[in-house]
Amino acid sequence: MDQHYVCTGSCNMVSDHEKNCDSEDCTHKGQPLVACSCTDGNHDEAHKRAGTGLEV
């Protein structure tokens, strides 16, 4: 998986470009997605970067 951006809130949105989370019910709505370049789809890198403690 190439560089992508992940919401580290409750929705776990993934985007191929930088943007803010726009999921209505997300705990991080309006916050920027976190850059990630994982290849396994688990987004551990983004969660570690965000300090959410949700690493898989």
Q: What is the pLDDT of residues 10-19, one digit of tens each?
A: 999 999 999 9
CA 4 to chain centre: 8
Domain assignment of residue 35, given as a range: 1-56
Q: What is the pLDDT of residue 24?
A: 96
Looking at the 3D structure of the chain, how many domains does it have?
A: 1
Residue 31 corresponds to which tokens in the numbers above?
A: 């916050």
Q: What is the pLDDT of residue 1?
A: 64
5-56 tens-digit pLDDT: 999 999 999 999 999 999 999 999 999 999 999 889 888 888 888 876 554 4
Q: What is the pLDDT of residue 56?
A: 43
Please tell me the distance from the alpha carbon of residue 24 to that of residue 43, in angstroms, as a whole number.
Answer: 21
Q: Where are the alpha helices (DSSP H) in 1-56?
A: 44-50
